Structure 1
Amino acid sequence: MPDSPTLPDLIDMQIRTTGPMSVATYMGLCLTHPHKGYYKGADPLGAAGDFITAPEISQMFGELVGFFVVNLWQQMGQPKACTLLELGPGRGTLMADMLRVACRAEGFRDALDLRLFETNPALIAEQNARLEAYDPNWIQGFDTVGDGPLLVVANEFFDALPIRQFVRTTQGWHERVVGLLEGRRAFGLSPTPLPPSVMPDAVADAAPNAIYEAALAGTEVMSRLAHTVSTQGGAILAIDYGYAMTQTGETLQGIRRHAYADVLASPGDTDLSAHVDFNALGDAAGKAGLTVHPLVSQARFLDRLGIGDRAKALGLANPGAAADIAAARRRLTAPDQMGDLFKAFCAASPGLVPPGFSP
């Protein structure tokens, strides 16, 4: 019996059959192909995987996000039923740390309706092992989030959603595509220029060779969640690397085994991501009726929530680990580490005051 075609074979076959594909289509196949996509394979996290996220660096990150969540629940009057939804929960580490703190608040555990949006079978198993006591439910779409207030947490989720790329030429804007050149995958341009009116005002007059990345999938997810929150109450917290205002610049990158990798070389075996346009997410949330709070750096967000005091307390309780705790805090908050590159975004029901987003 012949071996089934690999994901690179399937992608090349589709290009030969139907022509070059958009960058968004290529990313979608690489990351979420039903059987061979990157996020359908083994656990990509940790030292043995391709990258390490903030919750894996220190429990402090999740504990402070747990305080953020329970504070908003209290501001909403401690509703008897409240859905907490995490997008892309990884190994469940962030949520486990969050709930260890949040469930100390009287009534929160009884109100909790925990939902997780995840597609990786290996990670779902790890999430279940860590979170089974909280009766989690895994969802495949955003129409099954309950009827009560909704609190959404998304750490390094939006950067992994497919983007489209457009290149400014002397003839106007053209979409960037993935095709085959002498049998090898290569970038090219669609021959048909786009009407100038379809480009955001912020980039419409960009210089030749400028690249604009449109995260249409991300804004669609934000729009759908924001409309639910607008109707039912709640907030959306997204922490990711990105930029505050819509701009040009190529940020699509591949990561494999903690090193940069060619985004076209190994479909399905390489993590693909792009910086998040938080301005576009804010526009989507604002149109749904939410209050979009000023974007802050991850460092400022964690500092305002008390990471300094938490690190000190952990160091006193575990003197043998004090140096590791201090190093973890630095990695999360130092400007040359994750502190400035990563941003915290919050859109919430009018009247809520999300902790960490104001002095």
Structure 2
Amino acid sequence: MERLDRFMARAVAAYYARPATPFGRGGDFTTAPEISQAFGEVLGAWAAVVWEKMGRPDPVLLVECGPGRGTLMADALRAAADVAPAFRAALRLHLVETSPALREAQRRALGDAVTAWHDDLAALPPGPMLLLANEFLDALPIRQFVRRGAGWAERHVEAGAFVEQPTSDAPRWPAEAPEGAVREVSDAAEGIVVSLATRLATQGGAALFIDYGPASSCLGESLQAVSGQRGGLDPLADPGSVDLTAHVDFAALAAVAREAGAAAQGPLPQGLLLQRLGLMTRAAMLAQSRPRLAGDILSGAERLVAAEGMGRLFKALALCDPALAPLPGFETP
């Protein structure tokens, strides 16, 4: 018998260690950078503007967590070189990636632009930092607690099935919950955010997380397996061969970031942030320059911002040195 978060951590590590790429139409899922190059470009421009607000430190770390095939960062670097050559010259690119196969894909996409790869954030060198993370938090392991009577039980995994064990290590929220209610908690995500917030508050910089989940903490179970572009699969059925993912509790992460001394802005719907950052304008420019691909370019951009696409389910949360607030796209109208 194994606690759910430990089972999930092992399964996710095995999944991303496989030689086959999980990204794109031929893989298990498609992320925003694979849908539209404008996504990475506007995030690169966002980083350049924040760098200006930071006082143009040179050097500055540009970090991506979970860089996939390097698609987002390739687009971001190209945009940075176009709109802010001084920023492109000042940045030192660091990638947080544990998969050897994905590191090789990133090496092919980014070449000598990469200063170093790291297994975790703790290995990054000190200094002011800008961090981007798209669909990174959802793959971090979660724990699940189930309301039973006056207390909570925690889910474990045994022989491909959930097993509940009574626990005193129950979630603090909510105080009251109906029988059978499930509360998901990610100690891993909260630990990363606390460490990052402490660093940003003392060394300067900002971080932008884009992922999916509700804006407010809520009850319910969201853990699922994804394979072959299909979600909602049994997360216990084929560990290591399918992607495991769960909704991000943005409100909980914002709260622990503020407690650690950083400013937390958002979460905002992804569609709103991308529109404020000019994604649709950039997509229109790309469509005009590539008329044969115009339909695909515009439909891809619309998928990222539309409420019925990814625009509402996906959220953006920014953390930063309190002196930098508000960040681009997060200003109060």
> TM tier, shorter chain?
over 0.9
- Cross-structure match for 2:106: 127
8 Å contact kept, 1:128–1:136? no
- Cross-structure match for 2:219: 248
Q: CA deviation at 1:99?
A: 0.7
The one-character-per-residue Cα deviations of 1:308-327 (angstroms, maximum 9, x if unpaired) are: 21122112111221111111
- Cross-structure match for 1:3: none
- Cross-structure match for 1:339: 311
Aligned ranges 1:289-308 → 2 under 5 Å: 289-308=261-280
AA matched with 1:80: D
Paired with 2:112 and 2:37, the residues of 1 have a C-alpha distance of: 19
The one of 171, 195, 208 aligned to 1:224: 195
The one of 132, 141, 161 aligned to 2:120: 141
AA matched with 1:121: P
- Cross-structure match for 1:92: 70
The one-character-per-residue Cα deviations of 1:159-211 (angstroms, maximum 9, x if unpaired) are: 0000000000114111011113xxxx211210x2426xx4223x220111100
Work out whether 1:266 is the aligned partner of 2:238: yes
The one-character-per-residue Cα deviations of 1:33-82 (angstroms, maximum 9, x if unpaired) are: xxxx1011121111121100000001010001001100000111111110
AA matched with 1:324: D
AA matched with 2:266: P
8 Å contact kept, 1:246–1:279? yes
Work out whether 1:168 is the aligned partner of 2:147: yes
Runs of 4+ in 1 over 4 A off after TM superposition: none
5+ residue gaps, structure 1, are 1-19
The one of 174, 177, 180 aligned to 1:206: 177
Q: Please tell me the root mean square deviation across aligned C-alpha atoms, in Å.
A: 1.3
Q: CA deviation at 1:335?
A: 0.9
Paired with 1:236 and 1:308, the residues of 2 have a C-alpha distance of: 23
Paired with 1:312 and 1:76, the residues of 2 have a C-alpha distance of: 30
The sequence identity of aligned pairs, in percent, is 44
8 Å contact kept, 1:31–1:39? yes
- Cross-structure match for 1:58: 36
In terms of mean alpha carbon deviation, does 242-251 or 138-147 score higher? 138-147
Paired with 2:58 and 2:300, the residues of 1 have a C-alpha distance of: 36
SS of 2:323's equivalent in the other structure is: coil
- Cross-structure match for 1:186: 161
Q: CA deviation at 1:157?
A: 0.3
Which has the higher Rg, Structure 1 or Structure 2? 1
8 Å contact kept, 1:243–1:276? yes
The one of 1, 4, 8 aligned to 1:27: 8
Work out whether 1:44 is the aligned partner of 2:41: no
The one-character-per-residue Cα deviations of 1:99-141 (angstroms, maximum 9, x if unpaired) are: 1111231321221111001111121111011111313310122
8 Å contact kept, 2:206–2:320? yes
Paired with 1:55 and 1:136, the residues of 2 have a C-alpha distance of: 22
8 Å contact kept, 1:115–1:139? yes
When the two structures are aligned, how many residues end up with a matched partner?
328
- Cross-structure match for 2:258: 286
5+ residue gaps, structure 2, are none
